[in-house]
Amino acid sequence: MAKEVNFFRKMDTAKIKEKENRILDAIQKIENFLYILEKNQKTYTNAVNYLWDLQNRINEINSKKTISPSMQEERKNLQKELALLRQKLKSSGSIIVEKIEELKKFCSDYPKAISQVSIPPMIELSLNRNPSLKK
Amino acid sequence: MPKIKITISNAFITQPLEEANDEISVYRLVIWLKSTREAIVGYLNNPQELGSSDEKEISRGNNYKYDNSPDDKNKLQSIEGFKNYLKSNNISEENHNLIISILLQNRLALPDDIANQVNTFLIELGGGCGIESSPLKVSIESRKTTLLFDKKGAITIHSHIPIDAYDSTTEALTPVGHAEIEITVSKDQQIKFKDIEIELEDDGHLPVFKMMRGNLNGLQEKSTYIVNFVRNNPWKTAALLGSVILGGLGAILTFTGILSPAGLVLSAIGYTGMHLSLTGTALLATNLAVPSIGGAIVGFFANGVTKLIKKINPTEHYSIKPTSSHSKDGVFRMDSQQVESSSSSLESNKPAPSLGRDNRNKKLGDQLEEENQALKNSKLPSRDEIVQSGLADNSTPDQENPLQENIRHHTNTPQQRPKKK
């Protein structure tokens, strides 16, 4: 009899443990998603800043009265870089927007699940969820 | 409560980007806060680009509020009225649309954007050093915007923005300070942002500022050179110290004669009646041994100091260097270079690498592509996973799983949170 009780106790503990793991797995999955999204947003912002550096440099060259051949070459290279980075930013931006939309939907569908994790401020701003922080 | 004043120089970079066509001018305004390396891109449009509700307001021709200031409300009754007003203030017609755009944007979005930006800046600054003491968020809302015109045809928009600390647990807002933001549009359409000034009550929420002020003044300003020298040249330092002490010992031995260790040995040997040549040998050996042992001890000690200083290593924790104005008037200023270097070091705790332009572009581009790929592959838990875990709202987790509360408590504690992959 005692052996049977122990057996069932072990079964219960195993079930609880399994459930606990499922919750932790789900939370970790959300946290990973948030982590990658935040990282991506930061890199995107850095790239945008750099895009402006390039644009400023080109404008600087353009504003000069006389442009030497070396400057023309530099401008050409800068323009090439600018175009490449702009293209990358374009595709990157659409992915980020898509994922933010996905997260927004997740937040509205599963508020209990999302309340288990802390959302980084940058993502919180993108989600625009907290009315008390807004005008 | 003591007040902390922060001035961020060159925080904003703005630039009119493009003109879409002859009728509609679209200006892209980039607000770039270097501390977080983030940019807000806002579009300043002329009135034709407004939404339907705005158009209605404009077509009505009255009661169109440009901002919250009662004085300006009276002045700015309609677009046309405002244009006349600008004209009467000698603002050239070609600038009218731009100024109206800025004002509309100011009313519609700009304060919010700036608020969010400053909010992020403060949170990241605190969090970046890992010493954020409480769940502090900052809420900023523009409550007063004033317009100033000068005789040269420039217009200045000044916003006074109170900053409130937001406590996520109680949802209470407590005033902690204010920011002053000023935008000037000159006659030749140049937009300039004045330095942003943020003044905060120091109630312990922002320990990072205190640490910067205390530590940096003392450590970096006066002893950076010495600390860096010792840290980078341990053996040189040991040799230097050793030679100084050896020189000192040599001088003592020379001038004190009988009191020196060599002199004592010499006397002792003399009593034994040994030959002078042996005494001379002993003197020589002692004179060599004492400084050598002393030098070795000093060298060992200097190496220990080096290791200790490496552990303290103040320059790697905070790379914002104090300016000469820092301690004189109690105002903490960061110029653009310092803010930029601080942001990178706050993120990684390492000095910012000086990458060339090509490397930076390549690095950013590649990094963006890699991270995009990771983001593409990254997925939120599926519906089944959420339901099975009991985190779906329609389930009753407490009944299903008595450990739910316990788990929630654990996962909310940063130290016990599962590690990110």
Closest chain B residue to A122, measured at CA: B120
Q: What is the pLDDT of residue B158?
A: 57
Strand, helix or coil for residue B92: coil
Phi, psi of B239 (to 5 degrees): -65, -40
Closest-CA distance, A84 to chain B, in angstroms, reads: 8
Contact list, A111 vs chain B (CB under 8 Å): 393
Closest chain A residue to B343, measured at CA: A46
Confidence of residue B204 (pLDDT cuts 50, 70, 90): very low
Closest-CA distance, B418 to chain A, in angstroms, reads: 6
Give which of B93, B107, B134 is closest to B44, Cα–Cα.
B107
SS3 of chain A: the string is: CHHHHHHHHHHHHHHHHHHHHHHHHHHHHHHHHHHHHHHHHHHHHHHHHHHHHHHHHHHHHHHCCCCCHHHHHHHHHHHHHHHHHHHHHHHHHHHHHHHHHHHHHHHHHCHHHHCCCCCCHHHHHHHCCCHHHCC
Q: What is the pLDDT of residue B306?
A: 55
Proportion of chain B in helix, strand, coil states, percent, rounded to 5: 55, 15, 30
> pLDDT digits over B76-113, tens only?
334 555 566 566 656 666 656 555 554 443 333 333 34
pTM of the model: 0.34
Which residue would you say has higher pLDDT here, B315 or B101? B101
Q: What is the pLDDT of residue A10?
A: 61
- Cβ–Cβ gap A24/B386 under 8 Å: no
Q: What is the mean pLDDT of residues B64-79?
A: 37
Which residue would you say has higher pLDDT here, A32 or A13? A32
Q: What is the pLDDT of residue B126?
A: 29
Is some CB atom of chain B closer than 8 A to the CB atom of A50? yes
Q: What count of CB pairs under 8 Å joins A to B?
A: 169
Is some CB atom of chain B closer than 8 A to the CB atom of A119? no
